[in-house]
Amino acid sequence: MATYLDYLISPKPIRIVDLKLERSKLRIQNLTVLQYGHLPGRTLKHREAPCGHWAFTYIVKGKGSFRVHGEAEQRIDAGCLFWEWPGAEFTFGPDGKDGWDEYYITFEGGRIREWLDAQIIVPGTVMRVGSDRSFIRKIETIGDLVDSGIPDNADRAALMLESLIYEFSVTDANRRSAHFSGKQPEFIIQVLEDIAGSLYEPWDERQLWERNHISRSTLRRLVLQNTGYPLNEYVNRLKISEARKLLRLTGLQIKEISQMLGYPDPAYFSRLFKKYTGVPAMTYRSKMKQR
């Protein structure tokens, strides 16, 4: 695997390898490694630029920052990993003139959708997987396999990538679980109470994460890990539970309850109510009066 100098990126030799094959020659079609890169001593900053494919960047030395356009900046140091994806703009790079050492892999394929659904990849989240030599060896092996130009090796690279991303996810989840359970249970309660205290307002996710000084991805992960529901579903369930109480205890019209709970469209509110309770709001009120 050849190295070359590009002083705009780094004062040290870097390695970048592109897939040399047509996709039609691969037997694994739902995941393809497109590019491997090793940029030791990177000094170039990536500023509000889009990414054409999915990618991860793993920092093994140095520190800096990462930001998805419109979200809060997140700090990066050795052992951190972040994601890029199509349709978003990213700003990231090292602090100071010493730079950082990074590995990255870009990839594409239908398999990514399953990772997203399973929360193996959480866009916008900085994973803290630690500085692990075994991760580096696997990333370098993926690069060697892609560099070979052999179709079977490109397929092997895809399988190794899937295994590696799964290990990243497990390692990060274990670290976060230990951190939150051991050090910050009161913070989790604070966030959930903040959500519960916002039921009579239009839902504004940005205000919630900014009030609690966390990123959007951290907010979503906290809620999912501690309630079992994705954030928006959790909020809707709380609001519908509050609506049931108002239907039982007040004479407010359904339209009024809808607006009080931040749903300007009563029809949408009615669909949600039936989805989570199994009956229309009017039917629910009638049954409660009969008791």
Give pLDDT tens digits for 147-177: 999 999 999 999 999 999 999 988 887 776 6
Q: Which residues contact 66 (CB under 8 A, 6 or more apart)?
A: 73, 74, 76, 82, 90, 91, 92, 126
Residue with tokens 């970048």: 16
pLDDT at 229 over 90: no
Helix and strand element counts for the chain (H, E): 10, 11
pLDDT at position 180 is 53
Phi-psi region of 174 (alpha: psi -120 to 50; beta: other; left: phi over 0): alpha
* Structural domains of the chain ordered from first start: 4-182 (2.60.120.280), 184-291 (1.10.10.60)
Q: Which of 59-68, 140-149, 217-226 has the lowest mean pLDDT?
A: 217-226
pLDDT at 33 over 80: yes
Give pLDDT tens digits for 116-135: 988 889 888 899 899 889 99
User: How many alpha carbons lie under 13 Å from residue 113 in its C-beta half-sphere?
Assistant: 3
Give pLDDT tens digits for 64-117: 999 998 778 889 999 999 999 998 999 999 998 889 999 999 999 999 999 998
Rounded-to-10 torsion of CA 269, 271, 274, 275: -110
